[in-house]
Amino acid sequence: MDVRYKICGGIPLQGEVTVSGSKNAALPLIAATLLITEEETVFTNVPDIRDVRSMINILEFLGADVTFEAGTLRISARDIKNRPLPGDLVSRFRASILLLGPLLARFGVVSMAYPGGCVLGKRSIDAHIAVFEQLGARNMSTEDTLHLQGTLTPTHITLPEFSVTATENAILAASILPGETRIDLAACEPHVQDLCRFLVKRGVTIAGTGSHVLCVRGVPSLFSSSPHRIIPDDLEIGVMVAAALTTRGTIVLQDVCKEHLVSFLEVVRRIGGQFSYDENTKKLRVDGAESRLKSVHIKTNIFPGFPTDLLPPMGVVLTQALGVTRLFERLYEGRMAYLYELEKMGAHVEFLNVHQALIIGPTELRGRIVASNDIRAGAAMVVAGLTADGETVITDVQYIERGYDRLHEKLQKLGANIERQEGESQGKNRNIRPVPLILRS
């Protein structure tokens, strides 16, 4: 099925909308239910997105009893069977790798096809293998299959990099190991912290939540607790803020945790964006009409630094800013590919290498047919379409819908002229150009 968005841009967004739950928090939490062998686990504020549905499909394949309705997800994993996970299930999204930790810790062996997901350049699984080898597993993987086996024991783990999913896998595995596991160089993103809070409520002792050193004392079995509410999606918030700024609109976002967006909002302030936050109501008000955008230098970094997933929508904002902006993407060599789509719409972009680019603004964007190259690039194209003069058609919307819950409906509520269209698949967009690799001697 070919899904597209058709957008008639130039309309200032106006109104109030509630943010959905976080994709990046929901997926490791769903994986964690494989460790709970007795009671049902209940989550609320769960986003109804493709990646969540894909994770549910895998749990049902393993034998879990799952119901998902109106943002409430109920999972019973008491009777699951440890089966090899085939490519047609795990190749759809990268986060399927989060199943390694729970299955290996619970059964002593795990086998699965290599996970898929967005094409953002080489995304090694070496950090995950390093975690499990330090816990005592043997890596028996082949070119086609991830295969780990062995009895895990608590130990001192040092991650080779600040990998979010490898940190989450380490936490998940350690949660049912008797004794203490120390994790050094742990990632501390908000969704990692949410996973820690969930596990603590179910009997696991975790010290250092929110830091780069975690000490996890596992328990033989996790016990039931009250429903766990998924944290709001900071990446959806970033997209909405970007759209308000570029369309010169005024919007109010409900259910916002400002502390999850410290670096992003600081950049918004530095470029001249006007916003206010009410700590009591958790509402963020963005006033694009009063904002006077100017250029800035941005470097992505691990939390609490500027998030890589918000660089694409911020790049669109900076096409409307006065001056020369320098973007420095530290993590993924494929992240800058969306800038080619922006060039089609009239943006003035200069590529320095696969990690750095300049945006010279302001420039008037014009509606074009553009591609959604990955989840976050697709959201950036939505912001560009809302900003542009004329009609924009965004292809490959299935990427966007992997990570954003009813994004087009929320934008319609804010007054955007955006329409979701379904039709027969016409194959991949062949006009996407890769970011050029500049080699240095």
Positions marked catalytic = 118
Residue 204: C-alpha distances to residues 168, 172, 198 (Å): 14, 10, 9
Euclidean distance between the first and the last CA atom of the chain, given in angstroms as a whole number: 45
d(CA 42, CA 160): 34
- Find the DSSP H helices in 277-347: 311-318, 338-344
Kind plus residue range of the DSSP H or E element containing 193 = helix 190-200
Q: How far is CA 308 from the centre of its chain?
A: 10
Location of structure tokens 């293998």: 129
Closest CA to 151 of 132, 172, 170: 132
Non-local CB neighbours of 356 within 8 Å, separated by 6+ positions: 326, 327, 328, 329
Non-local CB neighbours of 251 within 8 Å, separated by 6+ positions: 13, 14, 15, 16, 17, 240, 243, 244, 285, 286, 414
d(CA 384, CA 392): 9
d(CA 292, CA 248): 10
Does the CA dihedral 366-293-410-305 come out positive or negative?
positive
The letter for the amino acid at 390 is: G
Q: How much of the chain is helix, strand and coil, in % rounded to 5?
A: 35, 25, 40
Closest CA to 298 of 284, 317, 285: 317
